[in-house]
Structure 1
């Protein structure tokens, strides 16, 4: 490379992040816990690709020449548009429809993986993030929706969040009945009303009342335009928010069925609660909707105490699969935001944050003896122990040990010429060494003590390391 060659600046695009071994191990443990709960309920895994034909994504397909608003898209060599999946639900609907004749019905599956949003990133808002979904396709009754809520509660309990969450449940049919009773007919106004109701926890009834009317001005002076309802129309919505659902509503009957199932299964309102303020944003929900809210306090960017909030949710979407088939296909499911949930577990101390234990490192004291060192590594690996030979260019003992420290190695193996002549090895226990180092301040004392270091016969290498690891 010449001096004039311009170096590339190593940087990530906005809205994406790298993951370290510690992050991967901690999240992997969390995902395994969730998976066990899903499988206990009888759900099986399925995996769909990252790309789908853009038309498969349904409502996310914008009416433009290049369909990339909200999704990342490219045109195939046969001029068909493909997009990175926006969520895990639309691909499931496609998969079910494509394999309709062979799949059992109801079809119960779970999926875990990355999804992509071509949106402006911000604090805690990424353009690539992981979701973990479970869905039942082909079950029309509220029993399937109730099961989803109970499974969500069991997941939270399994993750150690008992007492720190509530699964909140509502029904879009109830909301539709309220809007009809209030005389709200335009789609734009309906959306504004639903957004207002969704702010009940944040702004309270008075704040919702303002958002249902002309609008609301916050403490900073920013004004949010309201739904423009009359006082009489707003009163119908506010009665509903206060816990007075419309009579003779199909959604109310479904909620009553779900509540009976919760009661029978022993899920009290401290775990699952019917809540009229639950809206859920996606337009494809057609019945019960639910979300997991974590109820403990955290500080926002302004230093204010706020409830952590939602880490997942879902609902019934009976129309989504019907985009691919003429007959109606009922479906219900929920999605967990893995990154957000991992952040919550970290805050509550329920997410392992330690770096995974690294490999035992065999130091290279003499370059002409690498075959001997490789033999040691192979013995350890065959015994099921993570191990590696130092492959760097330095001969410096201290730098090789420093490398092992950075790898979070539990121990290093040392064989110089003297050890080789005597048929022994030096094993340096890096964990014990670090602990001993806390009480040693004098460098001469450190060298004399050689804390955590002991010798074994060459033939006892594997058993000595096994014993050391079990003690650590």
Structure 2
């Protein structure tokens, strides 16, 4: 009789489009988000954490490049109940919170949120289905002073985390101006906002890809469509040549300064009331920022910024890092965008039926971390691991625990080796793998004499790699100190390593 097959073991692999984050990456992200939170807090914004799961109805139909709400999101249906989904951004949950708690929250309500979001999209190089976002929004402020404040705060946050002035620019535009241009082009009817909405969505996404596709690629998407290098075909907006030229003129309206840009935009929108209103708002934002010292060296008006999401109703922003890096083929290129946002006055209205003004910004956390690594602000040296207290005698574990407790109480990161202590060499290998700066050693002889051995693991590695015999004798990597001096001696070694000594 044949034996039953053993059950198949699960494969130990990360699902496609997802990734794991380990110690240094998590620490770097936490520290960066902490510095951003310091700026947001200084501006009067409060933290908010929302559920990772929302109803599909609450999320709405605002995810880019999809027509139905359950496309592009990870969704499931509860038994005899609503469809639920993992949040795809941090803005849609804010709209739900603002509506649900509108009688309890101050108005305007300033909040920031940081956390993972999920998108059920085709993964690719550097494109994951789960990633972190860091948002800041103001709900309930109709004036564009709120938009100007968001831009100023974003500028301060970038500089506070280590992006120096001159290595970034925040570009500001207004969706109302583009609506005015589309009205002139004949694809927006003020009396029937839903008419041509599908075409306008394609135009928005096409123009938003200008920096990647260039003039020719955007023109193709405004017209019949475009096939990319992989053979995938994207249907275009179907605009005629004259209509496409009006839209492309909008993209080229950047002038020598803010006044020249505003004049060009005013000429493009012509008699459009919504377009003229958008130009005036841009001028006001520029004036408010200039009054605070945020000039064109940090923030500029740029018609090329449109943002692809459909819920923006007014000013839109994008932060671009302008320094050069080498791509995978060794070619120089600008780092590119790390943040985007804008005004979305109709998002909360979906829940309340009443217009609630809102504006905000979202930082791509992984992108900004990559930029800081490229600038040498983080990740240049591995962060030191914990001090490792080795175990020479199983029966004296309480003594080792007392040592590690004293170190931790003094604010020193430390741990006791909890593996099999039989092979002491394996304990030191473990300490090396943990990037430990110091190993604490105490056998029975040292305990009887009231001393401990401290092994400077970093110095020991340096001596083994390069030092001469004389240097090795002059600067031994292992020293003996009184047990009572354990904390002070470890602290001295750590201080010497921190100062480069």
Output the TM-score relative to the length of structure 1.
0.91
Q: 2:284 aligns with which of 227, 248, 257?
A: 257
What is the CA–CA distance in structure 2 between the aligned matches of 1:187 and 1:129, rounded to whole Å? Answer: 30
Question: Where does residue 257 of structure 2 map in the other structure?
Answer: none
Give the conservation status (yes or no) of the 8 Å contact 2:61–2:67.
Answer: no
What secondary structure, in the 3-state scheme, does the structure 1 residue paired with 2:12 have? coil
What is the CA–CA distance in structure 1 between the aligned matches of 2:70 and 2:234, rounded to whole Å? Answer: 28
5 Å matches for 1:393-408?
393-408=420-435
Question: Where does residue 160 of structure 2 map in the other structure?
Answer: 158
Q: Which runs of 5+ in 1 are unaligned?
A: none
What is the CA–CA distance in structure 2 between the aligned matches of 1:145 and 1:236, rounded to whole Å? Answer: 27
Per-residue deviation, 1:305: 3.4
Question: Where does residue 39 of structure 1 map in the other structure?
Answer: 41
Question: Where does residue 89 of structure 1 map in the other structure?
Answer: 91
Deviations 1:355-406 (A, max 9, x none): 4332222211122222222222222223232222211114222211111111
Question: Where does residue 357 of structure 2 map in the other structure?
Answer: 330
Question: Where does residue 461 of structure 1 map in the other structure?
Answer: 486
When structure 1 is superposed on structure 2, of 320-329 and 370-379 the one drifting more is 370-379
Q: 1:122 aligns with which of 114, 124, 127?
A: 124
Per-residue deviation, 1:173: 0.6
Q: 2:456 aligns with which of 426, 429, 443?
A: 429
Per-residue deviation, 1:148: 1.0
In 2 relative to 1, CA 8–450 (structure 1 residues): closer, same or farther, beyond 3 Å? farther
Instruction: Say what the alpha-carbon RMSD is for the aligned residues.
Output: 2.8
Per-residue deviation, 1:197: 3.0
Per-residue deviation, 1:469: 2.1
What is the CA–CA distance in structure 2 between the aligned matches of 1:469 and 1:329, rounded to whole Å? Answer: 54
What secondary structure, in the 3-state scheme, does the structure 2 residue paired with 1:381 have? helix
Q: 1:9 aligns with which of 4, 7, 11?
A: 11
Per-residue deviation, 1:454: 0.5
Per-residue deviation, 1:63: 8.4
When structure 1 is superposed on structure 2, of 131-140 and 79-88 the one drifting more is 79-88
5 Å matches for 1:261-276?
261-276=288-303
What is the CA–CA distance in structure 2 between the aligned matches of 1:225 and 1:63, rounded to whole Å? Answer: 14
Question: Where does residue 411 of structure 1 map in the other structure?
Answer: 438
Q: 1:98 aligns with which of 97, 100, 103?
A: 100
Per-residue deviation, 1:470: 2.2
Q: Which runs of 5+ in 2 are unaligned?
A: 189-195, 254-263
Q: 1:183 aligns with which of 164, 182, 186?
A: 186
In 2 relative to 1, CA 45–54 (structure 1 residues): closer, same or farther, beyond 3 Å? same
When structure 1 is superposed on structure 2, of 178-187 and 237-246 the one drifting more is 237-246
What is the CA–CA distance in structure 2 between the aligned matches of 1:467 and 1:335, rounded to whole Å? Answer: 43
Deviations 1:263-287 (A, max 9, x none): 2112122211111111101111000
Per-residue deviation, 1:448: 7.8
Output the TM-score relative to the length of structure 2.
0.86
Question: Where does residue 387 of structure 2 map in the other structure?
Answer: 360
Question: Where does residue 57 of structure 2 map in the other structure?
Answer: 55
Count of residue correspondences: 467
Question: Where does residue 419 of structure 2 map in the other structure?
Answer: 392
5 Å matches for 1:257-296?
257-296=284-323
Give the conservation status (yes or no) of the 8 Å contact 1:73–1:83.
Answer: yes
Deviations 1:264-319 (A, max 9, x none): 11212221111111110111100011111112233445554332221111100000
What is the CA–CA distance in structure 2 between the aligned matches of 1:179 and 1:63, rounded to whole Å? Answer: 21
Q: 1:168 aligns with which of 168, 171, 179?
A: 171
What is the CA–CA distance in structure 2 between the aligned matches of 1:289 and 1:141, rounded to whole Å? Answer: 14
In 2 relative to 1, CA 381–234 (structure 1 residues): closer, same or farther, beyond 3 Å? closer
In 2 relative to 1, CA 341–355 (structure 1 residues): closer, same or farther, beyond 3 Å? same
When structure 1 is superposed on structure 2, of 49-58 and 72-81 the one drifting more is 72-81
Per-residue deviation, 1:206: 5.8
Please tell me whether residue 133 in structure 1 is matched to residue 160 in structure 2.
Answer: no
In 2 relative to 1, CA 205–80 (structure 1 residues): closer, same or farther, beyond 3 Å? closer
In 2 relative to 1, CA 451–129 (structure 1 residues): closer, same or farther, beyond 3 Å? same
